[in-house]
Amino acid sequence: MLEVIEAPASDLVDLAMVKSHLGIVGTDDDAIIGALIARASAAITSYIGAPILAGTYRETLETGGGQAVIALSRYPVTTVTSVEVDGSELPSGFRLDADAGLLLRTDSAGRSRPWECGAVVEVSYSAGYATCPPDIEQAVLELVSAAWSQRGRDPGLKSIGIGSINLGYFGADALPGIASVAPLLDRYRVPAVG
């Protein structure tokens, strides 16, 4: 079970960055731009499958027989505050693969060993990026820019003609969206099981 102690920020970029990118100086459109940032950030976080920015968590897991590794739900892990096994603190005796969020049990010589079978392990930790990675920032900027340039028009409209009135529409799968920035995000996606 994952408990969020301190939730990560939801907006992946700030208003000033987007306004600079769009070349906007005044404050008249700040609310609209803020809403676009929130929507783009939510879409990207959903696509990735986990929060991107730093948060603090407590995770409780039950180990299986012979299990050598515990996979934490959030990563990269920046700090592990505590590890408890069946209610007793484990001050050492574990090794962390921070980038993958993997916690390995070790013996007194530092060698890997299995976690106790059926043990309840509670891990308190911080995970996520302190600042948004540049490629994710770029993805947010591209989504916000696309939405900004299309405001006030039919997003499905591809072309329009005047003589004999010809309208052409994009297919639903051709509309700009998360797929347009997926190459920037794919390396951050949480693998889906099932």
Q: What is the CATH number of the domain that holds 150?
A: 1.10.3230
Question: Are residues 145 and 89 part of one domain?
Answer: no
pLDDT by residue, tens only, the chain of 194 residues: 999 999 999 999 999 999 999 999 999 999 999 999 999 999 999 999 999 999 999 999 998 877 889 999 999 999 999 999 999 998 888 999 999 999 999 988 888 888 888 889 999 999 999 999 999 999 999 999 998 987 766 556 555 667 766 665 544 444 458 889 999 999 999 887 65
Question: Are residues 91 and 36 part of one domain?
Answer: no
Question: Are residues 171 and 76 part of one domain?
Answer: no
Q: How many domains does the chain have?
A: 2
pLDDT of residue 22: 94
> Which of 127, 145, 180 is where one domain is finished?
127
Strands of the chain (E only): list them.
2-6, 55-62, 69-71, 77-85, 88-89, 94-97, 102-105, 120-127, 157-160, 167-169
pLDDT of residue 177: 81
Question: Are residues 139 and 118 part of one domain?
Answer: no
Question: Is 26 part of any domain?
Answer: yes
Residue 159 domain boundaries: 2-52+131-188
Question: Is 96 part of any domain?
Answer: yes
Sign of the dihedral defined by the CA atoms of residues 189, 145, 133, 78, in that order: negative
pTM: 0.80
